[in-house]
Amino acid sequence: MRTKRFGLSAAAVAVLVAVLATPAQADPALPIDINDAHLGATAAGFGSQDCSGPFANLPDGKDGWHFIVPDSAGEGFVSLTVIYEKSDDTKVTVVLPDSPAGTVHNGAGWSGWFAEAGGKKKHAYVITDEGWTLDAAAAFLLNVQTGAFFNLSHTCASDDPGTSPSPSPSASASASTSASASASTPPGGTLPRTGASIGAILAVGAGLIAAGAALLALRRRRDLTESV
């Protein structure tokens, strides 16, 4: 069984980026974690596969990931941070900041965007290089419910049949999201919540910022002393 490893410093920085990218809301956005049962998944090994909709033209060598906010968890995504692990054990951080549905964000080896259902950004689509492992994920939502988490709804592995040129967040994304918007039971069931929580990540992130500020102040003090 794969042992879940978590790059805490990287996760802290990524979540802080999402926090800073989230504007003030009338109802404050709050952080939640992904369902623990979905951590450690690969696109090829995940139990629910679907290469329709935005993944219908997935290129060779790419995996598709569809994340969903259940109605029981709260309103749609405000921002999303996902950390993947590559085959060489390096980490890749995917950040989808607060942005209109359909706005594509890109990074090294990945792209992603939000899609709406019922006027809410209930869905997030991420396309990555083939073979990455889902290591950690957290999101900010509005009107978060007690004990809420979001799910990995399904994946599209790169070696699935009927995949070739590049997908885009077009009308097909909006059409495909409405059917699954009410899905609240994740594939594979629900496990007790374990591991590092989003609260711990935020606490570590705050500590990193405080440490950085202290180091900067110390350096400035030394520069002033040397110049006297």
Q: How far apart are CA 80 and CA 67, in angstroms?
A: 10
Radius of gyration for the alpha carbons in the chain, expressed in angstroms and rounded: 19
CB 130 within 8 A of CB 61: yes
- 111 or 180: which leads in pLDDT: 111
Helix boundaries (H) for 119-192: 171-180
Task: Give the pLDDT confidence score for residue 29 in this predicted structure.
Answer: 83
Task: Give the pLDDT confidence score for residue 185 in this predicted structure.
Answer: 35
- pLDDT > 70: percent of the chain: 57
- 52 or 210: which leads in pLDDT: 52
Judge whether residue 176 has pLDDT over 60: no
Q: How far apart are CA 22 and CA 99, in angstroms?
A: 9
- The tens digit of pLDDT for each residue in 36-62 reads 999 999 999 999 999 999 999 999 999
- The tens digit of pLDDT for each residue in 4-24 reads 444 444 444 444 444 444 444
Judge whether residue 25 has pLDDT over 50: no
Task: Give the pLDDT confidence score for residue 51 in this predicted structure.
Answer: 96
CB 201 within 8 A of CB 138: yes
- The tens digit of pLDDT for each residue in 94-113 reads 999 999 999 999 999 999 99
- 189 or 139: which leads in pLDDT: 139
Judge whether residue 175 has pLDDT over 70: no
- 225 or 47: which leads in pLDDT: 47
Q: How confident is the model at residue 1 (pLDDT cuts 50, 70, 90)?
A: very low
Cβ neighbours of 212 (radius 10 Å): 10
Q: List, in sequence order, every residue forming a beta bridge with 84; answer none if it has no partner.
A: 92, 134
Q: Which helix (H) or strand (E) holds 18?
A: helix 8-20
- The tens digit of pLDDT for each residue in 109-157 reads 999 999 999 999 999 999 999 999 999 999 999 888 888 999 999 999 9
Across all residues in the chain, what is the average pLDDT?
Answer: 73
- 167 or 114: which leads in pLDDT: 114
Q: How confident is the model at residue 227 (pLDDT cuts 50, 70, 90)?
A: low
Mean pLDDT of 72-86: 94
Q: How confident is the model at residue 195 (pLDDT cuts 50, 70, 90)?
A: very low
Task: Give the pLDDT confidence score for residue 190 in this predicted structure.
Answer: 36
Q: List, in sequence order, every residue forming a beta bridge with 114; answer none if it has no partner.
A: 124
Token pair for 95: 């950040």
- Among residues 214, 124, 223, the alpha carbon closest in space to that of 173 is found at 124
* Cα four-point dihedral sign 187, 139, 145, 69: negative
